[in-house]
Amino acid sequence: MIDAILNYEFLQNAFISGIIIGIIAPLLGVFIVVRRMSLIADALSHVTLAGITGSLFLSQSVASLAVLNPMYLGMLAAVGGSVLIERLRSVYKHYEELAIPIIMSAGIGLSAIFISLASGFNTDVMGYLFGTVSAVSRQDLFVVIGIAIIVIVFLTCLYKELFVLSFDEEYAKASGLPAKGIHLLFIIVVALTIAASMRIVGILLVSSLITLPVASAMRIAKGFKATIIYSIIFGELAVIIGLVVAFYLNLAPGGTIVVTSILILVIVILVKKMNVRKENNQ
């Protein structure tokens, strides 16, 4: 396995990208879960799919766009979707959660239209849906690195503000924090992370990498920072084990990563229950 990684550039791209995504996806996931916004990752992933299929359709229809990396239009669609979600949240002030299914439905609908209009890129779509190790290019890796830098800088600069917004949004607004602006920037960063993760995890499964490690961490962590650390550890374990299994068994990496995340969650829950029983019996 190590020899293959050293000899093949696409494996280097896949594993480095996976390790980076295993950090930034759960890192953002902690804030998403605490704010009870888990479904927003699904909505943005479906909008990203619309951008991907739209890009594939355009590259098939317009010869000059054949060299366009679908990831770029996917990222643009994800960012646009995040902005629209925020706009709809302000329109439906008393039913803000409606914004998520509206955008998700739009993403699914547009994806279906682009797929039906074009033909011949079913294989490409499957790779974006469930991830593929062999398709991760050096260009994709650089994009992932760039987005990781944006995520780290954003969270470093606005950690305290995001912490307050996550646990008490009303207090944050009353104290003068620009809650709407920070929230919009946060959603845009989440959208970029989802778009960057699609090559490895797949668009339909990326939300699982954002939420499942956090779900595992919340069972054993004591405190917010500990939850972040455990989430990153579980995310990295899921990515590395998932990629290794996908390589040897020739499976979609998204599926193996998500199944590994679920197994980690099950193990954590069982260990937690066993520890509680021991404490009660003592």
181-207 per-position pLDDT tens digit = 888 899 999 999 988 888 788 887 888
Count of structural domains, the chain: 1
pLDDT at 119: 67
Residue 230 lies in a domain: no
pLDDT at 151: 93
Residue 97 lies in a domain: yes
123 pLDDT above the threshold of 70: no
38 pLDDT above the threshold of 90: no
pLDDT at 31: 92
Tokens of residue 17, six digits: 């990208």
11 pLDDT above the threshold of 70: yes
Residue 75 lies in a domain: yes
Measured over the CA atoms of residue 74, residue 76, residue 77 and residue 79, the dihedral's sign is positive
Q: Is 177 left (phi over 0), alpha (psi -120 to 50) or beta?
A: beta
Mean pLDDT of 53-82: 83
Residue 101's domain is classified under what CATH number?
1.10.3470.10
Which residues are CB-contacts of 218 (< 8 A; sequence separation ≥ 6)? 33, 227
Residue pLDDT, tens place only, 155-187: 999 999 888 888 877 777 778 888 888 888 999
Domain that holds residue 108: 2-207
Residue 95 lies in a domain: yes
Candidate ranges 18-32, 82-96, 156-170; pick with highest mean pLDDT: 18-32
Q: How far apart are the C-alpha atoms of 30 and 211, rounded to whole Å? A: 8
Nearest by Cα to 217 from 14, 79, 33, 16: 33
- Which one-letter amino acid corresponds to residue 257? I
Averaged confidence pLDDT in the chain: 86
Residue 146 lies in a domain: yes
Residue 227 lies in a domain: no
Residue 93 lies in a domain: yes
Residue 255 lies in a domain: no
Tokens of residue 19, six digits: 């390790």
pLDDT at 232: 95
pLDDT at 14: 85
